[in-house]
Amino acid sequence: MRADTLHLTLVFIGDVEVVRLPELLELASKVRTPVCDIDFDRVACWRRNHIAHLGASQVPDALMELVRQLEAGLDQAGVVFDRRPYVPHVTLLRNADCTKENPASEPILWSTRDFVLVTSSLRSEGAHYQELSRWPLL
């Protein structure tokens, strides 16, 4: 992954009609959760989709509350989103060879101070993310 594409997805909502964008911006602006630090202390690889990623063995309550509030707002607005149980992770490599042993690493502390709404598109060089708006955490 390129450094400019590293991110922690909170809720994946997929394709949304442009006319619904103001509604998404409004519901995100109502989220009220505290800042938190996430200790990414695991390097792992999901064999089913060949994704090497960083994971956290302890998920902060504030992070789970942020996700819960976003999902509740999306539910109220009738916006379809990925409802799989939330597993915070940062993708490091796609098409990874998951048969190899993962190297040991030092934990990485990720400090959350805000969250963003982004749009993504695929380009020849890979994924491109464009920030649409940003909201501070408490």
Q: Are 119 and 129 in contact (CB under 8 A)?
A: yes
Q: Which residue reads 């993708």 in tokens?
A: 91
Backbone angles phi, psi at 115, to 5 degrees: -140, 160
Distance CA 127, CA 4 (A): 10
pLDDT at position 104: 67
Tell me phi and psi for residue 102, to 5 degrees. -80, 135
pTM score of the predicted model: 0.90
Average pLDDT on 19-38 reads: 96
* Residue 90 token pair: 């940062």
pLDDT, tens digit, 9 for 90 and up, residues 65-87: 999 999 999 999 999 999 999 99
